[in-house]
């Protein structure tokens, strides 16, 4: 289920053009945003300029009429939003309760209408809607597919590392592990994995099939992830490598797949 958490700052409807939030408030809010991201529920977020920089288009008698902001009759205005994907309204409310909002801010929660929520006649009228959604400004998504012997054990292992799973794409044969906004790892039991390829499944413990490399926020983050994996049953297959501008370390998961985590100096990335 997707929900929009709408931030409504009191008085924002009268804010002057170019009004910006306090830096300390933004710093606190960024920590909250990171918690949403780490939990795998964040799908989008943005802040909005005040109504004084916007416009409204009304359609009285079918004729469009433009009114520049601010809007005198407005009693409140939207300051920004989050799009989250959770299992229930209660979970969305719980996330909203954790927001470090000030006493002049209100969060309104609204559930997003999914295509399956519509009646049959509305779905017919909206034919092509889901395809339009998939193509509207969304970048390419990456799905890495890996065979596993014991799905439940693998889910338990990666949960220990802090990863979340999409219940919509999870059953007794496979699960979808959320790595990033557009990056996912599909863990498939070997029997099911074989239905997608005519080639034999490689033994990841005796041969290298692929190296899954993921960036981390810092050297300490690289160490934390790998050490947590080793404590949860992963195999140490190499020692940390420090290139100065880049630090990397990795592990073999329960099925022998190699996961590399690395941190690169931002100054090097920027050129």
Can you tell me the distance from the alpha carbon of 232 to that of 228, in angstroms, rounded to the nearest whole number? 6
Q: What is the reported pLDDT for 224? A: 93
Q: Two tokens at 57?
A: 């288009």
Can you tell me the distance from the alpha carbon of 180 to that of 224, in angstroms, rounded to the nearest whole number? 18
> Above 80 in pLDDT, residue 266?
no
Mean pLDDT of the chain: 90
Q: Which residues pair with 47 in a beta bridge?
A: 80
Task: Dump the DSSP string for 211-271.
Answer: EEEEE-SSHHHHHHHHHHHHHTTPBP-S--EE-SSEEEEEEE-TTS-EEEEEEE-HHHHT-
Q: Judge residue 12's burial from the number of C-beta atoms within 10 Å of its C-beta, 0-12 exposed, 13-18 middle, 19 or more buried.
A: buried
pLDDT for 90-102, tens place per residue?
Answer: 999 999 999 999 9
Q: What is the reported pLDDT for 134? A: 62
User: Residues 71, 51: contact at Cβ < 8 Å?
Assistant: yes
Q: Which residues pair with 67 in a beta bridge?
A: 56
pLDDT for 182-236, tens place per residue?
Answer: 889 999 999 999 988 888 888 988 888 888 889 888 899 999 999 999 999 999 9
- Please report the domains of the chain, with CATH numbers, ordered by start residue: 2-115 (3.30.70.1060), 140-201 (3.10.180.10), 206-271 (3.10.180.10)
Kindly provide the b/e burial profile for residues 167-190, where b requires at least 16 CB atoms within 10 angstroms of the residue's own CB: eeebeeebbbbbbeeeebbbbbbe
User: Residues 159, 232: contact at Cβ < 8 Å?
Assistant: no
């Amino acid at each position: 289920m997707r929900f929009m958490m709408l931030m409504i700052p009191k008085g924002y409807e009268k804010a002057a053009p170019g009004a910006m939030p306090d830096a300390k408030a933004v710093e606190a809010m960024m920590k909250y945003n990171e918690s949403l991201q780490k939990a795998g529920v964040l799908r989008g977020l943005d802040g909005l300029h005040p109504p004084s920089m916007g416009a409204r288009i009304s359609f009285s008698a079918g004729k469009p009429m433009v009114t520049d902001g601010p809007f005198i009759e407005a009693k409140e205005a939207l300051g920004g939003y989050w799009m989250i994907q959770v299992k229930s309204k209660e979970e969305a409310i719980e996330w909203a309760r954790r927001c470090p909002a000030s006493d002049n801010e209100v969060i309104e929660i609204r559930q997003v209408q999914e295509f399956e929520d519509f009646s049959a006649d509305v779905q017919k009228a909206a034919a092509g809607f889901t395809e339009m959604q998939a193509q509207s400004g969304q970048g390419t998504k990456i799905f890495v597919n890996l065979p596993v012997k014991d799905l439940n054990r693998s889910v338990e292992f990666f949960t220990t590392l802090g990863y979340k799973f999409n219940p919509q794409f999870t059953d007794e044969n496979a699960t979808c592990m959320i790595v990033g906004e557009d990056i996912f790892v599909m863990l498939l039991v070997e029997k099911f994995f074989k239905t997608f390829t005519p080639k034999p499944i490689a033994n990841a413990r005796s041969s290298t099939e692929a190296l899954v490399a993921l960036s981390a926020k810092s050297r300490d983050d690289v160490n934390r992830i790998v050490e947590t994996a080793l404590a949860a049953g992963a195999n140490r297959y190499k020692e940390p490598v420090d290139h100065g501008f880049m630090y990397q370390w990795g592990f073999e998961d329960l099925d022998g797949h190699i996961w590399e985590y690395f941190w690169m100096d931002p100054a090097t990335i920027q050129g």
